Structure 1
Amino acid sequence: MRNPPIVVFHHSQSRGGKVAQEILKGFAGGTLLVDGHGGYDPLADPKKTAKPWTLAFCWTHWRRRFVKFSQDTPSPICDEMIARIAQLYAIEKEIRGRDPAARVTVRQKFSKPIVEALRPWLEGCLQDLSSSNELSTHIRYGLKRWDGMTRFLEDGRLEMDTNGVENAIRPIPLTRKNALFAGSTDGAKTWARIASLIGTCRLNGVNPEAYIAATLRKILDQHMQSDIAALMPWNFRE
């Protein structure tokens, strides 16, 4: 399989930007779809990275801010913002699974006008709000990251959000709670490796239990180390 989907979990005692740089060492010049965590910013800074990355930002994280605000304080601005984002997601639903070129074509025709109209409308809303208003902060969150927020319009490989990542992460807190933590740093690193294999199995439509059992048998049967690629989840056949 060419460019199979992969999940990689990495254990660290910090969320600092240096951790992301260590993980991505040896890779450069690509696009990272991320949330608004500031630790990713140095990766896109040519003063701090020899070959800077391009950052694309998550619309779901931005949308959540308006949803949460409107739950406590009803707001026509929030309602309108949520409705406009819903229009974008309706388009995404129609093109899910299509090739990148087709996705870009549809986004340029239907999504781009919605996005282009969004910015001046939000800037107008800011003029009517106090700078100390919490809603102003939520609006500026996306406007500050505008280039990254709109990057999906030009790149059909990108999703609008990091929902796929969040879905892959969801089992981790549940397992942590049930197991009462990893026990040690080494235990957490081992857990991360196993979780990476299981998550990659799921992304590739492979039964994790069957994969792990079969792979362990092959290792015991002295599978050739030079052919390690054959043991990857996307090459597994029951």
Structure 2
Amino acid sequence: MSYASGTFLAIGRPGHRFLIHGDETTVQVLKERDRQAADISYMGAYRSSEGSDEPIVLLEYQPGRGQIHPQTFLGDYRGTLMSDGYTAWRTLESATHIGCMAHARRRFVEALKARKKPGGPPAQTLKFFDQVYRIERQVRDERPWDGETQGDCMRRFRQQHSVPVLNALKAWLDAITPKVVPDTKLGDAVSYTLNQWEYLTRYTQDRRMPIDNNLLECDIRIFAKGRKSWLFSDTVDGAKVSAVVYSLMLTCRASRVEPFAWVRHVLTELPQRRNG
């Protein structure tokens, strides 16, 4: 287990680690042993759940995208893992897996863009997704019944409203599957959603489970925006340092701490501390 992963899993009490968000994004490293400068490497990204008392965001440099990386980082993690449908995540056998609804929806958006004419099955399918997300916005404002906890209230609301829409979406996808050409954007979208169905719908069973991975994707977007400016890391060590810096700044952001003020405080205080 790496230093970063140990930091992540030790950051709080077990209740703080009920759920971890996982994802990755690309990074180019010019001077990497036994690899070409144009080869693509990755930054693994991990985040504690929304509402954590001690939120943390960690990026970790990875030379590839294989299953060894999440396995090494998370070890024998036994909580809930939110991720996309990439098979490497599913190899964590001790975790309870939930899928990202936004990833599934995005595929139908791409299928709609690929059509010569608007509408059709992609547009119809997106209406189901829109309903599901509308309900998810409403559930946050739902008030518990007398004697009902907020968690039970959210689960009840999802079971009452989200599950019927999801069942209708599943029936619709099953109905159009025989008519869809496999090697198309729509075929990919339908296949992905049906293959991930168990994971995509599991969020309705527990109010602590989010519907998608957008919380972490917003953090990754900040790294991706910076990457457009600096383009690449020169060395592996540079990529690792970049991961540390972004981890610190994104954790500040998640903790609602102004990053520059935090850096100024740390650099002011550290020289005054003995023994590091």
Q: TM-score, normalised by structure 1?
A: 0.82
User: 1:230 is matched with which residue?
Assistant: none
Tell me the alpha carbon deviations over residues 78-127 of structure 1, each in whole angstroms, 9 at most, x when there is no partner: 11111111111112223348854443222112111111222122101113
Q: 2:58 aligns with which of 1, 4, 8?
A: 8
Letter in 1 for 2:59: F
Distance 2:141 2:258 in 1: 21
**In structure 2, do the counterparts of structure 1 residues 214 and 101 end up closer, same or farther at CA, with 3 Å as the change threshold?**
farther
Letter in 2 for 1:36: G
Distance 2:92 2:98 in 1: 12
User: 2:84 is matched with which residue?
Assistant: 35
Larger relative helix fraction:
1
Give the superposed CA RMSD: 2.2
* 2:242 match: secondary structure: helix
User: 1:90 is matched with which residue?
Assistant: 134
Q: Does 1:19 align with 2:63?
A: no
Task: Give the percent of matched residue pairs that are identical in Structure 1 and Structure 2.
Answer: 30
Distance 2:210 2:141 in 1: 11
Letter in 1 for 2:132: L
Q: Does 1:54 align with 2:107?
A: no
Written as runs of structure 1 = structure 2, the 5 A alignment for 1:110-121 is: 110-121=161-172
Distance 1:68 1:215 in 2: 45
Tell me the alpha carbon deviations over residues 181-205 of structure 1, each in whole angstroms, 9 at most, x when there is no partner: 2221111111111111111111121
Q: CA deviation at 1:175?
A: 2.0
Tell me the alpha carbon deviations over residues 140-185 of structure 1, each in whole angstroms, 9 at most, x when there is no partner: 2111111101011012122211111111011212323322422211
Letter in 2 for 1:143: L
Distance 1:210 1:168 in 2: 19
* Aligned residue-pair number: 217
Distance 2:268 2:126 in 1: 51
Q: CA deviation at 1:40?
A: 1.2
Distance 1:84 1:199 in 2: 33
Letter in 2 for 1:119: K
Q: TM-score, normalised by structure 2?
A: 0.72
Q: Does 1:79 align with 2:123?
A: yes
Q: Does 1:169 align with 2:220?
A: yes
Q: Which has the higher contact order (CA 8 A, sep 6+)?
A: 1
* Higher mean C-alpha deviation, range 80-89 or range 95-104: 95-104
* Higher mean C-alpha deviation, range 146-155 or range 125-134: 125-134
User: 1:135 is matched with which residue?
Assistant: 186
Tell me the alpha carbon deviations over residues 188-237 of structure 1, each in whole angstroms, 9 at most, x when there is no partner: 11111111111111112110110111122222221787xxxxxxxxxxxx
**In structure 2, do the counterparts of structure 1 residues 28 and 97 end up closer, same or farther at CA, with 3 Å as the change threshold?**
farther
* 1:5 match: secondary structure: coil
User: 2:111 is matched with which residue?
Assistant: 69
- Flag structure 2 segments of 5+ consecutive residues without an equivalent: 1-11, 17-51, 143-149
User: 1:197 is matched with which residue?
Assistant: 248
